[in-house]
Amino acid sequence: MQTVLGMMSGTSMDGVDAAILETDGKEIGAFGPTLFRPYGDGEREILRNALAVARTLTGRDARPEALADAERVVTDAHAEAAEDLMARATGHLVGLVGFHGQTVFHAPERRLTIQIGDADALAGRIGQPVVHDFRAADVAAGGEGAPLVPVYHRALAVRARLAGNVVFVNVGGVANITRIGVDGRLSAGDTGPGNAMIDDFVLARTGAVMDEGGRFAKQGCVDELALSALMDEAWFMEPLPKSADRDSFSADPVRLLSDEDGAATLAAFTANTIAGAIADAGGADVIVVSGGGARNAVLVEMLAATSGVTVKRAGDLGWRGDFVEAQAFAYLAARSQRGLPLSLPETTGVARPMPGGIIAYPK
């Protein structure tokens, strides 16, 4: 086992999650301390500007001014998070870092996925080898490049001795599932929107960066006509594995709704599409929800009602639900260093189990 620090900045763009994990890339030895470094309003605005520019790019290495500015923000924020966590975690001697970076565009059908963040600069600043660029090899080989967390979910299920058909749901900017069948077979993929559409709607209407706890949705009613229009996308009929970008789906059907009804309808959109994907994958005996969406009580309640399955938050199992993805990228960094597969045909649709990641060493 080695001590690895993993970091994740998701498509919700709320900040950097950092977590320490003891692992050999196969098993989980122990969970270490965690830390959240939020993005400030100015930083978040720079990242949002980068999203718009990234959609115009044809190559993943291009860095026009908006992306270069955003890359500096991402790198500095991750360096601060890593330095802060390592300073606090004095009993944990970190020897490797997993750095996902910030996804600004994801279009696997074009063999294109863009994550920004300067791994060489990060490695130099924190004095540790940094594994980065986790998705590119899978996409180049014809895979969806997402989700990459399923192999970690499987390790979590083994460690917790979860029985039956277990489904992990991560609700970040985009939502994804990992189903671990009683036979041990994996199936996985993005299910559609997570928090991003709700966050963007609430931000535009109220100036709040998210629907904290689902307070707007709780006061609203689901508009069934708008929900039906939202779900009328051919993408939802495609089988797993598949992946989506945070801006893959239009919120146009809720534009005339009130703040509260719009938030409720978008929460129902996320819950219904997750439940539909779980049913298509073979169903579940228990659903475990992690990510920022686990804090939206209305969304979690809707998922339980729509799926008809017991829903647990990761915290109910003693896990730090907000940091599962950060822990996953620590786990994936250890796997990358050992040349183990990060993605599988059943998780991303790639033709064969794919290793991935590049290691940047401090100069």
- Claim to verify: residue 210 and residue 238 sit in the same structural domain: yes
Q: What is the pLDDT of residue 209?
A: 87
- Claim to verify: residue 119 and residue 175 sit in the same structural domain: no
Q: What is the pLDDT of residue 184?
A: 86
287 beta partners: 167, 311
CA 179 to chain centre: 16
Query: How many domains in the chain?
Result: 2
Question: Among 269, 285, 309, which residue terminates a domain?
Answer: 309
Is position 12 within any domain? yes
- Claim to verify: residue 108 and residue 247 sit in the same structural domain: no
Q: Evaluate the CA torsion angle 187, 190, 195, 201 in order and state its sign.
A: negative
- Claim to verify: residue 77 and residue 226 sit in the same structural domain: no
Q: What is the pLDDT of residue 12?
A: 78
Say if residues 194 and 175 touch (Cβ distance below 8 Å).
yes
- Claim to verify: residue 166 and residue 242 sit in the same structural domain: yes
CA dist 148 and 61 (Å) reads 21
Is position 314 within any domain? no
Q: What is the pLDDT of residue 13?
A: 86
Q: What is the pLDDT of residue 327?
A: 97
- Claim to verify: residue 156 and residue 304 sit in the same structural domain: yes
- Claim to verify: residue 9 and residue 124 sit in the same structural domain: yes
Is position 115 within any domain? yes
Residue 75: CATH number of its domain: 3.30.420.40
- Claim to verify: residue 267 and residue 182 sit in the same structural domain: yes
Is position 253 within any domain? yes
Per-residue pLDDT of the chain (363 residues; tens, 9 = 90+): 999 999 999 877 889 999 999 999 999 999 999 999 999 999 999 999 999 999 899 889 999 999 999 999 999 999 999 999 999 998 899 999 999 999 999 988 899 999 999 999 999 999 999 999 999 999 999 999 989 999 999 999 999 999 899 999 999 889 999 999 998 889 999 999 999 999 999 999 999 989 999 999 999 999 999 999 999 999 999 999 998 888 899 999 999 999 999 999 999 999 999 999 999 999 999 999 998 899 999 999 999 999 999 999 998 998 988 899 999 999 999 999 999 999 999 999 999 999 999 999 998
- The 3-class secondary structure across 252-288, one letter per residue, is HHHCCCCHHHHHHHHHHHHHHHHHHHHHHHCCCCEEE
- Claim to verify: residue 182 and residue 254 sit in the same structural domain: yes
CA dist 178 and 150 (Å) reads 6
Is position 200 within any domain? yes
pLDDT in tens, 186-199: 999 999 999 999 99
Is position 252 within any domain? yes
Helices 259-281, 297-307: crossing angle, 10 deg rounding? 40
- Claim to verify: residue 246 and residue 344 sit in the same structural domain: no
Per the structure, the complete domain to which residue 292 belongs is given by: 150-309
Is position 60 within any domain? yes
Is position 315 within any domain? no
pLDDT in tens, 55-114: 899 889 999 999 999 999 999 999 999 999 999 998 899 999 999 999 999 988 899 999
- Claim to verify: residue 174 and residue 302 sit in the same structural domain: yes
- Claim to verify: residue 184 and residue 99 sit in the same structural domain: no
Q: What is the pLDDT of residue 246?
A: 86
Say if residues 274 and 175 touch (Cβ distance below 8 Å).
yes
Residue 221 CB coordination number (10 Å) = 13
